[in-house]
Chain A
Amino acid sequence: SQQGEEDPQALSIQEGENATMNCSYKTSINNLQWYRQNSGRGLVHLILIRSNEREKHSGRLRVTLDTSKKSSSLLITASRAADTASYFCAPGHSSGGGADGLTFGKGTHLIIQP
Protein backbone atom coordinates (compact mmCIF):
# COMPACT_ATOMS: atom_id res chain seq x y z
CA SER A 1 0.00 0.00 0.00
CA GLN A 2 1.25 3.50 -0.75
CA GLN A 3 -0.80 5.16 1.94
CA GLY A 4 0.39 6.09 5.36
CA GLU A 5 -1.00 4.27 8.34
CA GLU A 6 -1.66 6.35 11.41
CA ASP A 7 -1.40 5.08 14.93
CA PRO A 8 -3.15 5.13 17.33
CA GLN A 9 -6.59 5.08 15.74
CA ALA A 10 -7.91 7.20 18.59
CA LEU A 11 -6.32 9.25 21.33
CA SER A 12 -7.96 11.06 24.21
CA ILE A 13 -5.95 13.42 26.41
CA GLN A 14 -6.52 16.28 28.81
CA GLU A 15 -6.25 19.86 27.65
CA GLY A 16 -2.73 21.13 28.12
CA GLU A 17 -1.10 17.73 27.62
CA ASN A 18 0.98 16.83 24.61
CA ALA A 19 -0.39 14.55 21.89
CA THR A 20 1.78 12.30 19.79
CA MET A 21 0.62 10.35 16.80
CA ASN A 22 2.61 8.19 14.45
CA CYS A 23 2.64 7.34 10.79
CA SER A 24 4.23 4.43 9.00
CA TYR A 25 4.63 3.95 5.26
CA LYS A 26 6.14 1.34 2.99
CA THR A 27 7.91 2.84 0.00
CA SER A 28 10.47 5.59 -0.49
CA ILE A 29 9.21 9.14 -0.32
CA ASN A 30 10.04 12.64 -1.50
CA ASN A 31 8.21 14.15 1.42
CA LEU A 32 5.49 13.49 3.95
CA GLN A 33 2.59 15.73 4.81
CA TRP A 34 0.25 15.93 7.77
CA TYR A 35 -3.32 17.11 7.46
CA ARG A 36 -6.05 17.86 10.00
CA GLN A 37 -9.75 17.30 9.51
CA ASN A 38 -12.34 18.77 11.82
CA SER A 39 -15.52 16.77 11.95
CA GLY A 40 -17.29 16.83 8.59
CA ARG A 41 -14.97 19.48 7.17
CA GLY A 42 -12.32 19.47 4.49
CA LEU A 43 -8.75 18.47 5.22
CA VAL A 44 -6.35 21.23 6.07
CA HIS A 45 -2.64 21.00 5.38
CA LEU A 46 -0.54 21.32 8.54
CA ILE A 47 3.06 20.70 7.63
CA LEU A 48 5.30 19.12 5.01
CA ILE A 49 8.63 17.52 5.82
CA ARG A 50 11.04 16.61 3.05
CA SER A 51 12.85 13.31 2.93
CA ASN A 52 16.19 14.97 3.72
CA GLU A 53 14.81 16.63 6.85
CA ARG A 54 14.64 14.95 10.23
CA GLU A 55 12.56 17.42 12.19
CA LYS A 56 10.37 20.39 11.47
CA HIS A 57 8.43 22.80 13.65
CA SER A 58 5.38 24.93 13.04
CA GLY A 59 3.94 26.70 16.07
CA ARG A 60 2.87 24.01 18.53
CA LEU A 61 3.50 21.25 15.99
CA ARG A 62 6.66 19.21 15.75
CA VAL A 63 7.09 16.61 13.04
CA THR A 64 9.89 14.09 12.87
CA LEU A 65 10.78 11.82 10.01
CA ASP A 66 12.88 8.67 10.11
CA THR A 67 13.29 7.40 6.57
CA SER A 68 15.29 4.38 7.72
CA LYS A 69 12.27 3.22 9.72
CA LYS A 70 9.78 4.63 7.23
CA SER A 71 7.97 6.45 9.97
CA SER A 72 6.97 9.91 11.05
CA SER A 73 5.49 11.39 14.18
CA LEU A 74 3.40 14.46 14.84
CA LEU A 75 3.61 16.06 18.25
CA ILE A 76 1.10 18.69 19.32
CA THR A 77 2.25 20.48 22.44
CA ALA A 78 0.03 22.16 25.03
CA SER A 79 -3.11 20.79 23.43
CA ARG A 80 -6.31 22.83 23.24
CA ALA A 81 -9.93 21.86 22.78
CA ALA A 82 -9.73 23.23 19.24
CA ASP A 83 -7.14 20.56 18.41
CA THR A 84 -9.89 17.93 18.58
CA ALA A 85 -9.88 16.53 15.06
CA SER A 86 -8.68 13.66 12.92
CA TYR A 87 -5.08 13.76 11.76
CA PHE A 88 -3.82 12.14 8.58
CA CYS A 89 -0.37 11.59 7.20
CA ALA A 90 0.23 11.48 3.46
CA PRO A 91 3.50 10.12 2.12
CA GLY A 92 4.58 11.76 -1.12
CA HIS A 93 6.06 8.84 -2.96
CA SER A 94 8.93 9.27 -5.33
CA SER A 95 7.98 6.48 -7.71
CA GLY A 96 5.06 5.88 -10.03
CA GLY A 97 5.01 9.03 -12.13
CA GLY A 98 3.34 11.17 -9.54
CA ALA A 99 -0.04 11.58 -11.12
CA ASP A 100 -1.96 9.80 -8.41
CA GLY A 101 -3.48 11.83 -5.66
CA LEU A 102 -2.11 11.65 -2.18
CA THR A 103 -3.43 8.59 -0.41
CA PHE A 104 -4.60 8.75 3.15
CA GLY A 105 -5.04 6.21 5.89
CA LYS A 106 -7.90 6.23 8.35
CA GLY A 107 -6.26 8.83 10.54
CA THR A 108 -5.84 9.33 14.25
CA HIS A 109 -8.92 10.71 15.93
CA LEU A 110 -7.72 13.05 18.67
CA ILE A 111 -10.03 14.17 21.44
CA ILE A 112 -8.94 16.90 23.81
CA GLN A 113 -10.90 16.79 27.03
CA PRO A 114 -11.37 20.07 28.93
Chain B
Amino acid sequence: DSGVTQTPKHLITATGQRVTLRCSPRSGDLSVYWYQQSLDQGLQFLIHYYNGEERAKGNILERFSAQQFPDLHSELNLSSLELGDSALYFCASSPTGGRTGELFFGEGSRLTVL
Protein backbone atom coordinates (compact mmCIF):
# COMPACT_ATOMS: atom_id res chain seq x y z
CA ASP B 1 0.00 0.00 0.00
CA SER B 2 1.58 3.26 -1.21
CA GLY B 3 -0.57 5.44 1.01
CA VAL B 4 -2.03 7.24 -2.02
CA THR B 5 -5.78 6.83 -2.41
CA GLN B 6 -7.65 7.31 -5.64
CA THR B 7 -11.40 7.26 -6.16
CA PRO B 8 -13.34 5.99 -7.96
CA LYS B 9 -11.50 2.83 -8.99
CA HIS B 10 -13.70 2.33 -12.03
CA LEU B 11 -15.90 4.74 -13.91
CA ILE B 12 -18.02 4.17 -17.01
CA THR B 13 -19.60 7.13 -18.70
CA ALA B 14 -20.74 8.40 -22.07
CA THR B 15 -19.16 10.73 -24.58
CA GLY B 16 -19.73 14.38 -23.83
CA GLN B 17 -19.99 13.86 -20.09
CA ARG B 18 -17.82 15.26 -17.31
CA VAL B 19 -16.14 13.31 -14.52
CA THR B 20 -14.03 14.13 -11.49
CA LEU B 21 -11.26 11.91 -10.24
CA ARG B 22 -10.01 12.33 -6.72
CA CYS B 23 -6.62 11.73 -5.16
CA SER B 24 -5.49 11.81 -1.56
CA PRO B 25 -1.69 11.89 -1.33
CA ARG B 26 0.41 10.22 1.32
CA SER B 27 0.30 12.00 4.65
CA GLY B 28 2.71 14.92 4.54
CA ASP B 29 3.38 14.81 0.80
CA LEU B 30 3.03 18.23 -0.77
CA SER B 31 3.31 17.24 -4.43
CA VAL B 32 0.62 15.57 -6.48
CA TYR B 33 1.19 14.43 -10.04
CA TRP B 34 -1.42 13.17 -12.48
CA TYR B 35 -0.66 10.67 -15.22
CA GLN B 36 -2.73 9.11 -17.97
CA GLN B 37 -1.95 5.62 -19.19
CA SER B 38 -3.41 4.25 -22.38
CA LEU B 39 -2.32 1.34 -24.54
CA ASP B 40 -1.16 3.46 -27.44
CA GLN B 41 0.34 6.44 -25.59
CA GLY B 42 1.94 4.78 -22.64
CA LEU B 43 2.23 6.69 -19.36
CA GLN B 44 1.82 10.41 -19.98
CA PHE B 45 2.50 13.12 -17.43
CA LEU B 46 -0.46 15.50 -17.21
CA ILE B 47 0.07 18.03 -14.44
CA HIS B 48 1.90 18.65 -11.16
CA TYR B 49 0.67 20.55 -8.11
CA TYR B 50 2.82 21.50 -5.17
CA ASN B 51 1.25 22.74 -1.96
CA GLY B 52 -1.81 24.01 -3.77
CA GLU B 53 -0.09 25.64 -6.70
CA GLU B 54 0.30 24.40 -10.23
CA ARG B 55 3.97 23.71 -10.92
CA ALA B 56 4.13 22.09 -14.31
CA LYS B 57 1.92 20.99 -17.16
CA GLY B 58 2.55 18.10 -19.44
CA ASN B 59 0.34 16.65 -22.14
CA ILE B 60 -2.89 17.81 -20.57
CA LEU B 61 -5.80 18.64 -22.86
CA GLU B 62 -7.67 21.90 -22.47
CA ARG B 63 -10.78 19.87 -21.66
CA PHE B 64 -8.99 18.63 -18.56
CA SER B 65 -8.28 20.63 -15.44
CA ALA B 66 -7.01 19.93 -11.99
CA GLN B 67 -6.65 21.56 -8.62
CA GLN B 68 -5.10 20.85 -5.27
CA PHE B 69 -7.00 21.85 -2.17
CA PRO B 70 -5.70 23.23 1.15
CA ASP B 71 -5.87 19.75 2.68
CA LEU B 72 -3.59 18.68 -0.22
CA HIS B 73 -6.03 16.33 -1.89
CA SER B 74 -6.35 16.84 -5.61
CA GLU B 75 -9.04 16.47 -8.22
CA LEU B 76 -8.71 15.94 -11.94
CA ASN B 77 -11.70 17.12 -13.94
CA LEU B 78 -12.30 15.69 -17.38
CA SER B 79 -14.99 17.27 -19.51
CA SER B 80 -16.56 16.81 -22.93
CA LEU B 81 -15.32 13.27 -22.79
CA GLU B 82 -14.33 11.45 -25.95
CA LEU B 83 -13.79 7.78 -26.62
CA GLY B 84 -10.06 8.37 -26.69
CA ASP B 85 -10.10 9.57 -23.10
CA SER B 86 -10.65 6.01 -21.96
CA ALA B 87 -7.56 5.20 -19.93
CA LEU B 88 -6.11 4.57 -16.52
CA TYR B 89 -5.52 7.79 -14.62
CA PHE B 90 -2.89 7.67 -11.93
CA CYS B 91 -2.12 10.05 -9.18
CA ALA B 92 1.30 10.05 -7.55
CA SER B 93 2.59 11.96 -4.59
CA SER B 94 5.99 13.04 -3.39
CA PRO B 95 7.22 14.95 -0.36
CA THR B 96 9.17 17.35 -2.57
CA GLY B 97 8.46 19.44 -5.63
CA GLY B 98 11.43 18.34 -7.66
CA ARG B 99 11.53 15.90 -10.50
CA THR B 100 14.21 13.65 -9.10
CA GLY B 101 12.51 12.19 -6.07
CA GLU B 102 10.65 8.94 -5.63
CA LEU B 103 6.98 8.97 -6.59
CA PHE B 104 4.32 7.00 -4.76
CA PHE B 105 1.50 5.94 -7.05
CA GLY B 106 -2.10 5.24 -6.30
CA GLU B 107 -3.89 2.26 -7.81
CA GLY B 108 -5.49 4.39 -10.49
CA SER B 109 -8.94 5.23 -11.73
CA ARG B 110 -10.00 3.31 -14.81
CA LEU B 111 -12.18 5.48 -17.02
CA THR B 112 -14.23 3.94 -19.80
CA VAL B 113 -16.00 6.29 -22.17
CA LEU B 114 -18.73 4.65 -24.26
Contacts of B14 in A (CB 8 A): none
The reply to whether B103 and A102 form a contact with Cβ atoms under 8 Å apart is: yes
Question: Could you tell me the distance between the alpha carbons of A35 and B33 in the complex, rounded to whole angstroms?
Answer: 16
The reply to whether A42 and B50 form a contact with Cβ atoms under 8 Å apart is: no
Residue B84 at the chain A interface, CB threshold 8 Å: no
The reply to whether A101 and B110 form a contact with Cβ atoms under 8 Å apart is: no
The reply to whether B103 and A43 form a contact with Cβ atoms under 8 Å apart is: yes
Interface centre among A29, A100, A103, A107 (most CB of B within 10 A): A100
Residue A33 at the chain B interface, CB threshold 8 Å: yes
**Given A99-B48, A101-B56 in contact, is the A44-B105 Cβ separation under 8 Å?**
yes
Interface magnitude class on chain A = 20 to 34
The reply to whether B102 and A45 form a contact with Cβ atoms under 8 Å apart is: yes
Residue B70 at the chain A interface, CB threshold 8 Å: no
Q: How many residues of B contact A (CB 8 A)?
A: 28
The reply to whether B50 and A99 form a contact with Cβ atoms under 8 Å apart is: yes
The reply to whether A101 and B102 form a contact with Cβ atoms under 8 Å apart is: no
Interface segment out of the listed A53-61, A64-72, A90-98: A90-98
Contacts of A75 in B (CB 8 A): none
The reply to whether B42 and A101 form a contact with Cβ atoms under 8 Å apart is: no
Residue A40 at the chain B interface, CB threshold 8 Å: yes
The reply to whether A101 and B105 form a contact with Cβ atoms under 8 Å apart is: no
Q: Which residues of A are at the interface with B, using a C-beta cutoff of 8 A?
A: 29-31, 33, 35, 40-45, 48, 88, 90, 92-94, 96, 98-107
Q: Which residues of B are at the interface with A, using a C-beta cutoff of 8 A?
A: 2, 4, 33, 35, 42-43, 45, 48, 50, 55-56, 58, 88, 90, 92, 97-108, 110
